Structure 1
């Protein structure tokens, strides 16, 4: 016989509580028979919270014991917080994994070798484009993180925005093999300053900062990955100049 759980969650014509949906899914996937109660209006939701002396919904009870909200349910089930807390490399892993697959797919479609300098170049260029998009989606937030460690941006704040465009358009023109005489030196200069800035902040000053490489508000630690990104851009720019 399945263990029983009761959930009270907000379900209205205009609002479906995402935490309620996720809590219901967790209960079902963990083998519970769920008694699902809908709070069908803002007033009903507020009245329920007041009567039960709680600050949020959904609220869950398992068996005869009151468990609490979505976070309390995850803790009860032995699961980590959602969203993840603390530093994470997940955004960078996602970007580099997909851009590598993009480079391989493009090479496959062009009937070119899958292990070659061409694939490496495409990978770096695709990565620059995607990382640039993440920066451009919220330039102010990116700049706030970037000025904390980039040596040039700390002296001239507008450079933070310029850097995002250099990276993005640099990737685009590298893919097009266009304006190499302008793009390659510009990318080389920006990435060299970036590499020096990261090395100074992390390895000399020992500062504990988040990297702005995937945009503002990132929880990616500033360190080896950030330095590698700049070194990859430097290598790409040099290859374009001397090929």
Structure 2
């Protein structure tokens, strides 16, 4: 009879062995304990407080890592094994997701609305829309600047100008950040408008060609070189926002 079937007739009791040492408090041990408690288990939390205790435990149970979870006397395994046992399969680290972009745009939109309310007493203003785009550009640039080398490598997969002039892949995050800061302040419009229009136009054409003409399945470098955001509509939107912002600010400059 499987462990799942016998659980209903036995107490939901788990034993957790985890490292709790002066120089190391295992985060996966804490996550395992939290997961077990949220799943309704009583937890016998057994701390391994020295390297010798850890090694002795691993040798006794023929395991290579801690934490280790036992439920009703049967070893389940570590944190990821526990998630699978509880029906919460671990996320695929290679799976693509729009979550980083959704989180970014949500926070920049809320920040723009908050700034507008603080300055004008009204969240829904034209300035709020301008701040949303410029703040988004600044934050996107910040994410790219965390590791320019990694961003450049991913960016070279699809950007047409960068493929012809590699240095552009290193310049891009600085140009996007500068344009965003200038548009946020409303200063040096003669510089920010053509800068945003240029990088936005090149980016839009590059993404459109890679995704909709060549039909390549790529990851977007828009939120940095370590993201799993798929290249597609969201990536195109980022560039179209820059173009729209440049045109709007340019029209104000010429008015």
Superposed pair shares fold, TM > 0.5? yes
Higher gyration radius (CA): 2
Of the candidates 46, 55, 80, which is equivalent to residue 64 of structure 2?
55
The residue matched to 2:75 in structure 1 has which SS?
Answer: strand
2:54 counterpart of 1:45: yes
Is the CA contact (8 Å cut-off) linking 1:149 and 1:197 kept in structure 2? yes
Distance 1:220 1:114 in 2: 30
Deviation of 1:44 (Å): 2.5
| Residue of structure 2 in register with 1:186 after alignment | 195
Change (3 A) 1:221 1:182: same
Change (3 A) 1:48 1:13: same
2:77 counterpart of 1:68: yes
Deviation of 1:114 (Å): 2.8
| Residue of structure 2 in register with 1:232 after alignment | 241
Distance 1:96 1:111 in 2: 22
Deviation of 1:82 (Å): 4.9
2:160 counterpart of 1:151: yes
Distance 1:34 1:85 in 2: 32
Can you give the 5+ residue segments of structure 1 that lack an aligned partner in the other structure?
none
Of the candidates 27, 35, 57, which is equivalent to residue 44 of structure 2?
35
Change (3 A) 1:159 1:134: same
Deviates more, 1:80-89 or 1:6-15: 80-89
Distance 2:41 2:93 in 1: 25
Deviates more, 1:39-48 or 1:230-239: 39-48
Distance 1:193 1:138 in 2: 22
Deviation of 1:160 (Å): 1.2
Deviation of 1:84 (Å): 5.5
Of the candidates 186, 193, 217, which is equivalent to residue 177 of structure 1?
186
Distance 2:177 2:77 in 1: 46
Aligned 1:49-128 pairs, distance under 5 A: 49-82=58-91, 86-128=95-137
Deviation of 1:83 (Å): 7.0
Number of positions where the alignment pairs a residue of Structure 1 with one of Structure 2:
243
| Residue of structure 1 in register with 2:151 after alignment | 142
- TM, length-normalised to structure 1: 0.95
Deviation of 1:80 (Å): 2.9
Is the CA contact (8 Å cut-off) linking 2:67 and 2:78 kept in structure 1? yes
2:218 counterpart of 1:218: no
Runs of 4 or more off by more than 3 Å in structure 1? 82-85
The residue matched to 1:11 in structure 2 has which SS?
Answer: strand
Is the CA contact (8 Å cut-off) linking 1:139 and 1:161 kept in structure 2? yes
